[in-house]
Amino acid sequence: MPETTVLFFKENDGGAPVKDWLEQLRRRDRRAFAQCVAAVRRLALFGHELRRPQADYLRDGIYELRTRTGRVNYRVLYFFHGKGVALLAHAITKEDVVPDADINRALDRKRRYEIDPERYTYEEDIPE
């Protein structure tokens, strides 16, 4: 199975929401940060084959990477573009279910990316 290219979604202002979220998480909780980065690396290795408990399908082409530290759940929402690319679209810290507003935000980013992939791709490596 070929490796999946994992990219960050880029907003109009040039920022990458998931990358920014990961950098903030690294400053707050290095253990949780390391677990989230490990989950992203598993996504790169397994792509469409990644399943629960590490990943799950939410709806409308949006998936979640799932990690937990103590009682805190961390979710990185992503979507696939073709067979070999996964875009990290949104990230949250949550207690229970992923709120519809967060899924809708990821869906909006998915739609924008599909219209103009070059404009909405942030091509920096995953933070270490």
Residue 16 scores a pLDDT above 70: yes
Residue 19 falls inside a structural domain: yes
pLDDT given at position 124: 72
Residue 72 falls inside a structural domain: yes
**Residue pair 22/33 in contact by the 8 Å Cβ criterion:** yes
Of 14-18, 63-67, 92-96, 114-118, the least confident: 92-96
Residue 127 falls inside a structural domain: no
Residue 63 falls inside a structural domain: yes
Residue 1 scores a pLDDT above 70: no
Instruction: Kindly state the tokens that stand for 67.
Output: 């990690």
Q: In what order do the strands lie in the sheet with 121-122?
A: 55-59, 62-69, 72-81, 85-94, 5-9, 121-122
Pairwise CA distance, residues 29 & 69, whole Å: 9
Q: Which of 14, 17, 27, 22 is nearest to 87 (CA)?
A: 17
Work out how many domains the chain is built from and give that number: 1
Q: Which of 115, 113, 116, 114 is nearest to 18 (CA)?
A: 113
Residue 121 falls inside a structural domain: no
pLDDT given at position 70: 87
Domain range for 93: 5-116
Residue 53 falls inside a structural domain: yes
Residue 55 falls inside a structural domain: yes
Pairwise CA distance, residues 66 & 2, whole Å: 22
pLDDT tens digits along 89-105: 999 997 778 999 999 99
pLDDT given at position 127: 65
Whether pTM > 0.75 for this model: the answer is yes
